[in-house]
Amino acid sequence: MPLAMSEEQERISARPDAEKPRSPTETSGRADLIIVTTALLVVFAIALGLGIGFRTYHQPSLSASGNNGGSQSLNDDWRLDTSTAYSISSNWNSSAPKTTREYNFTISNVVGWPDGFNRTLTVINGQFPGPMIEANMGDRIVINVVNEGDIPTTLHWHGLYQNGTNFMDGVANINQCPIPPGKSMIYNFTVQDQYGTYWYHSHYKTQYMDGVIGPLIIHSEEEDLLIGDLYDYDQVILLTDWYHGMSDSYIDAYLTPGNENTEPVPDNGLINGANYFNCSLTPYDTCYQDEANRAMFNVQQNKTYRFRVINTGAFAEIDFSVDDHVLTLIEGDGTLIKPTEIHKLQVSVAQRYSVLLHTNISTAAESTEIFYVRAELDQFCFATDNPLLDPGVKGYLVYNNSQREDESQKISEFINNPSNSWNDVAANVRCKDLNNTAIEPLISETPPNATHFYRLDSAFLIKAYQRDRAYINGTTWYSPDVSILYQALQMFQLATDFELDNNNVTTLMTTSGVLPLGVFSGDQNQYIINVNKENSVIDILINNLDDGSHPFHLHGYKFWVLGSGLGNFDYKQYGSVVSNATNPMKRDTLQVVSYGWALIRFVADNPGLWPFHCHITWHLEAGLFMQFQILPEKIAQFDPPVDWTELCAA
Ligand code: C2O
């Protein structure tokens, strides 16, 4: 059930400072209430003996009294307590026998105010951000998704291979027909051959921006053996850009004729679903001014924390840092990395990194024991300004050395005399990834030689009806009406020969890319590269002809990053780029900079229809999306469950 605020609550919250008679319970004012509730929280945390206490520093409820003299509270049950929900227990047993991990997810709309600004959220189990999924490598994960929202939905498990279960990958109208309101679907898959930090999100249009996101953590004995000794505590930190309207309300204006790829600019950013927003900047009354709406990470001195940083946003590249603390990078997109020290971490949309933070500031005393945790939105890639946006998104890192009951006092002192951000890192004017060639996987691997090479030109072009759409090799993607995989399975039942005509695949060198005849020839909006030979190793050159950077994501795989650069790729360099790539970084999401190129490679051993797309939701809606159809003879053997099929047959 959507939780709508009563008119009365809206009226009262709209003018928190308005002169009006106050009931006795209100006379202490909000500031005191914050202190009292914070103190209670602190006492509670101490009472629980929590060694680590990550939480949002905010008031749990507001009391408000209406004209009728009755009292109502502005309930923030919608806010997930990430202090507990996103901290990974040191008791997690990565060598437990293989098991099934079950989750029930109900999707619905609620009203919430992550940064104080009141809006409708689409959430899982009534809370924002979404719950954490945890499993061991080898486990089965079963998620029963019930859609009580007002639009269709799907869930995608970003970065999971789904080997053999491509129909559980969750891309609306590609891997499945979406779950309409009032219906449900059970996702059921095992996690093989991978571990680390992943996330899940709705893959129906732009819906994940409204709140359908959460972390997905895969543990393994191997990982514990390799890096388990390096840290004491383990915590997930979600970073996101944040918009004050429902995501679909921006689409029409963005894709309107005459608009040359001017993406909507976020209003704010969030750290674990929280941040401050200056309510006086908006004409809207429904904004709850509260400096205290910030993520707060309580740490102990002389410990090491693993922070798993995930960009769950839609558009902005985000620079993560902690004032006065050096970070040690150890994981990216589920690949362990040889420890590398950094001051600022550039995280593109949908990427994940684990960093270690040592709480070794020995001078941390009364006045300096708080530090800003920063998640700066990189504005260089925004086409316009949003006057509401303060890109300096912040949370607090608080050493628990001294008297914690003074916390809110200390925070107000800290705000007047804050810590300083790292200023030795050059501005990231092209919204680049961190340098992928400067990091190396901990477990060395030499990529096999490529058997195929494809060049993908991505560009925004104004063609029909003055519309600015995104094209990959001349095709702009529009969502089909029925799942492509569903259509393919039906066609494959009739197919006898998978080596039929080739079609619109642009290849530079050699290809055996072949599409089964007739399957998709009726849909000119799908660009699909077919790989029908076992043991194919695919090189892709992405040529970005656009003035924006694009975080490209390949489903079903991790790819090696063989090289990248600015301008046009010089084909004469192909051999040297490829042979210089010893133990290259392997990941599932890569920022390809404006007017630049990237060369990536993957072993096409996972059958299915796998999207390859820009993860910026605006660009996805503009058509920056294509698919690889890998091993169609194996796709033909897929046998999805009945509830999956019924979503298409309905
Ligand atoms: Cu994170 Cu196509 O997805």
CA of 266 to the centre of ligand 1 (A): 20
d(CA 93, CA 99): 12
When pLDDT is averaged across residues 291-312 and rounded to a whole number, the result is 92
When mean pLDDT is compared across 83-92, 155-164, 185-194, 289-298, the lowest value belongs to 289-298
CA of 605 to the centre of ligand 1 (A): 20
User: What's residue 606's pLDDT?
Assistant: 98
As assigned by CATH, the class of the 4-19+444-649 domain is: mainly beta
d(CA 445, CA 335): 11
Fold assignment, 31-74+231-431: Immunoglobulin-like (2.60.40)
Q: Which residues contact 22 (CB under 8 A, 6 or more apart)?
A: 65
Check residue 383 and report its DSSP letter: S
Q: Is the previous residue joined to 607 through a cis bond, with omega within 30 degrees of 0? A: no
Q: Where are the domains of the chain?
A: 4-19+444-649, 31-74+231-431, 94-216
User: What's residue 302's pLDDT?
Assistant: 92
Using alpha carbons, list the distances in angstroms from residue 503 to 402, 484, 520: 69, 17, 10
Phi, psi of 541 (to 5 degrees): -100, 115
Burial bucket for residue 609 (CB in 10 Å: 0-12, 13-18, 19+): buried
Tokens matching residue 262:
């001017």
CA of 184 to the centre of ligand 1 (A): 21
CA of 553 to the centre of ligand 1 (A): 7
Whether residue 404 has pLDDT greater than 80: no
When pLDDT is averaged across residues 538-560 and rounded to a whole number, the result is 96
What's the pLDDT tens digit per position in 427-441?
A: 888 889 999 989 999
User: What's residue 68's pLDDT?
Assistant: 29
CA of 464 to the centre of ligand 1 (A): 28
For strand 452-462 and strand 537-544, is the pairing parallel, antiparallel, or unpaired?
parallel
CA of 290 to the centre of ligand 1 (A): 33
CA of 123 to the centre of ligand 1 (A): 18
Q: Coil, strand or helix: which one is 155? A: strand
When mean pLDDT is compared across 305-309, 478-482, 510-514, 617-621, the lowest value belongs to 510-514
When pLDDT is averaged across residues 59-71 and rounded to a whole number, the result is 30
User: What's residue 401's pLDDT?
Assistant: 60
Q: Looking at ligand 1, which residue's alpha carbon is closest to its atom 1?
A: 158
DSSP letter for each residue of 468-529 = EEEEETTB-----SS-HHHHHHHHHTT-S-S-----S--BSS-----PPTTSSTT-TT--EE
When mean pLDDT is compared across 109-118, 139-148, 283-292, 401-410, the lowest value belongs to 401-410
When mean pLDDT is compared across 52-66, 73-87, 541-555, 556-570, the lowest value belongs to 52-66
Tell whether ligand 1 has an atom less than 6 A from the beta carbon of residue 201. Answer: yes
When mean pLDDT is compared across 171-180, 474-483, 511-520, the lowest value belongs to 511-520
The fraction of the chain above a pLDDT of 90, given in percent, is 66
DSSP letter for each residue of 571-610 = GGGHHHHHHH-SS--EESEEEE-TTEEEEEEEE--S-EEE
Residue-level length of the chain:
650
Give the ligand 1 atom nearest the CA of 201: 1
Map 224-247 to HEC letters: HHHHHHHCCEEEEEEEEEECCCCH
Burial bucket for residue 170 (CB in 10 Å: 0-12, 13-18, 19+): buried
Phi, psi of 213 (to 5 degrees): -145, 160
Give the ligand 1 atom nearest the CA of 611: 2
What's the pLDDT tens digit per position in 382-401?
A: 999 999 999 999 999 998 76
Q: Please, which residues bridge with residue 128 across strands?
A: 79
Q: Superfamily for 94-216?
A: Cupredoxins -  blue copper proteins (2.60.40.420)
What is the chain's mean pLDDT, rounded? 84
User: What's residue 48's pLDDT?
Assistant: 37
Tell whether ligand 1 has an atom less than 6 A from the beta carbon of residue 555. Answer: yes
Tell whether ligand 1 has an atom less than 6 A from the beta carbon of residue 613. Answer: yes
Tell whether ligand 1 has an atom less than 6 A from the beta carbon of residue 158. Answer: yes
Tell whether ligand 1 has an atom less than 6 A from the beta carbon of residue 156. Answer: yes
When pLDDT is averaged across residues 87-101 and rounded to a whole number, the result is 97
User: What's residue 60's pLDDT?
Assistant: 31
Q: Give residue 130's pLDDT band: very low, low, confident or very high (50, 70, 90).
A: very high
Q: Give residue 64's pLDDT band: very low, low, confident or very high (50, 70, 90).
A: very low
Tokens matching residue 72:
């109502």
In this predicted model, which residue has the larger pLDDT, 34 or 392? Answer: 392
Tell whether ligand 1 has an atom less than 6 A from the beta carbon of residue 327. Answer: no
CA of 60 to the centre of ligand 1 (A): 33
User: What's residue 594's pLDDT?
Assistant: 94
When pLDDT is averaged across residues 362-381 and rounded to a whole number, the result is 81
In this predicted model, which residue has the larger pLDDT, 554 or 533? Answer: 554
User: What's residue 288's pLDDT?
Assistant: 86
d(CA 86, CA 79): 13
Taken in order 507, 511, 516, 517, is the CA torsion positive or negative?
Answer: positive
Look at the block and give the residue holding tokens 């004469």: 572
Whether residue 512 has pLDDT greater than 50: no
Contact 307, 233 (CB under 8 A): no
Closest CA to 224 of 210, 215, 234, 214: 234
Tell whether ligand 1 has an atom less than 6 A from the beta carbon of residue 350. Answer: yes
Whether residue 12 has pLDDT greater than 90: no
User: What's residue 29's pLDDT?
Assistant: 32
Start-end of H helices in 323-431: 407-416
User: What's residue 636's pLDDT?
Assistant: 87
Asked whether the domain spanning 31-74+231-431 has the same topology as the one spanning 4-19+444-649, the reply is yes
Tell whether ligand 1 has an atom less than 6 A from the beta carbon of residue 619. Answer: no
